Amino acid sequence: MTVNAVSHTCQWWRLAPGSCRMVLVPSGEDGGREGGERCRRVGCADVPIAVTGSVATDHLMSFPGLFAESLVVEQLDKIALSFLVQDLEVRRGGCAANIAFGLAALGARPVLVAAVGEDFADYRSWLERHGVDCAALHYSETRHTARFICTTDRSHAQIASFYAGAMSEARDIELRPVSDRVGGLDLVVVAPNDPEAMLRHTKECRDRGYAFVADPSQQLAWSDGDTIRQLITGAAYLFSNEYEAALIEQKTGWTTPDVLKQVETRVVTLGRGGVRIERDGDEPWTVDAVGGVTAVEPTGVGDAFRAGFLAAAAASLSTRRAAQTGCVLAAYVVERVGTQEYAFTAKEFCCRVNDGYGEEAAGEIADWLLPSC
């Protein structure tokens, strides 16, 4: 094991060229569930991850004021507002596409499983150039690719609308042919999507034994308690922000301990506060967000966090390292407009981990991202 300095402040440990090893990691916060050990592959990125969910173009606008200043509490049942925005950015987006893009940026093998329109050709070329497998896409003959329209005020509060379009046909997609084509699936991400598609994919994962990630987030608003219970029961990971975590408990009638008995790990993002990891029988613990970030546009930050977390988890890094990886990738997104407009080298990414979380974290993540340098 050698140490290589890239700058005066950035260094990490590397594996020998081309190496790939198995390491036993103790149980606890960095070793998985209590009472056991697990194997961690270092320097390998050969496991496909299917990412189901929305694919859309994002129409992003900025409002220089505060939405809250225009809200009259006593008149919310008659609300009728419009806001004069300063600019309009049209960008590639959609939860599944954003997550797949982030996974590919970190060397994972994402398979995008989604429904799109015939207008998707340029977007597909972009994703394929960046390492995303798009062979499992379903094309609608009658509907356009979905649209996400979002306005953000100066406090980063957001008002958004979503046109489903072709996404409503995602319910026709079966996962087994995808698994057969790529030689099996290590993990299936069930991100916000057509509601019937989310239920179908979740049920198929349980029936066929595919480990899955429950990420209902934006679709929680329409969901009743029974639907939410179906979407999260048996998940390897449940992702949400703090508000969504509370909404899940309110609508299902479950307490926090009840939720933790249904999933292996709950990951709750805390915005500037970082992320909290919760498991049944363990004390919750947190990872701080990356410091020194100038936030420009929050859209897609959660998707980037999920991509970073899951890429590291699929490479069998510890949960703490996965959370740190997610936070670093999220920082790249929030610093610019657009959810897929970031780029970095593996060395640059490891340096940022070093700056945010120290030499030991950077060393372990570099063992994964830079196995043959």
Per the CB < 8 A criterion, the answer to whether 147 and 56 are in contact is: yes
Summarised one tens digit per residue, pLDDT across range 100-124 is 999 999 999 999 999 999 999 999 9
Question: Looking at 7-16, 132-141, 232-241, 257-266, which range is the least confident one?
Answer: 7-16
The CATH number covering residue 56 comes to 3.40.1190.20
Confidence (pLDDT) at 41:
36
Confidence (pLDDT) at 13:
39
How many structural domains is the chain composed of?
Answer: 1
**Average confidence (pLDDT) over 194-222:** 96
Confidence (pLDDT) at 46:
63
121 in helix, strand or coil? helix
Confidence (pLDDT) at 10:
53
Q: Give domain status of residue 193, yes or no.
A: no
Q: Give domain status of residue 261, yes or no.
A: no
Confidence (pLDDT) at 143:
96
- Would residue 215 show up in a list of annotated catalytic residues for this protein? no
C-alpha 345: how far from its chain's center?
A: 20
Confidence (pLDDT) at 117:
96
Provide the percentage of residues in the chain whose pLDDT is more than 70: 87
Q: Give domain status of residue 19, yes or no.
A: no
Q: Give domain status of residue 90, yes or no.
A: yes
Q: Give domain status of residue 256, yes or no.
A: no
Summarised one tens digit per residue, pLDDT across range 269-322 is 999 999 999 999 999 999 999 998 989 988 899 999 999 999 999 999 999 999
- Domain boundaries, position 160: 47-68+81-182
> What are the distances in angstroms from CA 317 to CA 11, 24, 91, 160, 343?
19, 11, 32, 35, 22
Q: How confident is the model at residue 76 (pLDDT cuts 50, 70, 90)?
A: confident
Summarised one tens digit per residue, pLDDT across range 140-183 is 999 999 998 889 999 989 998 888 899 999 999 999 999 999 99
Per the CB < 8 A criterion, the answer to whether 107 and 311 are in contact is: yes
Summarised one tens digit per residue, pLDDT across range 15-27 is 333 333 333 333 3
What angle in degrees, to the nearest 10, is found between the helix axes of 319-334 and 301-314?
A: 150
What are the φ and ψ backbone dihedral angles of 360, each rounded to 5 degrees? -65, -45
Give the bridge partners for 61, in sequence order: 88, 151
Q: Give domain status of residue 141, yes or no.
A: yes
What average pLDDT does the structure give for the chain? 87
Q: Give domain status of residue 111, yes or no.
A: yes
**Average confidence (pLDDT) over 122-140:** 97
Q: Which of 133, 153, 194, 303 is catalytic?
A: 303
Looking at per-residue confidence, does 44 or 186 come out higher? 186
Q: How confident is the model at residue 90 (pLDDT cuts 50, 70, 90)?
A: confident
Contacts of 328 (CB under 8 A, 6+ apart): 290, 308, 349, 352, 353, 356
Best CA proximity match to 362, nearest among 321, 332, 312, 329: 321
Q: How confident is the model at residue 130 (pLDDT cuts 50, 70, 90)?
A: very high
**Average confidence (pLDDT) over 32-47:** 40
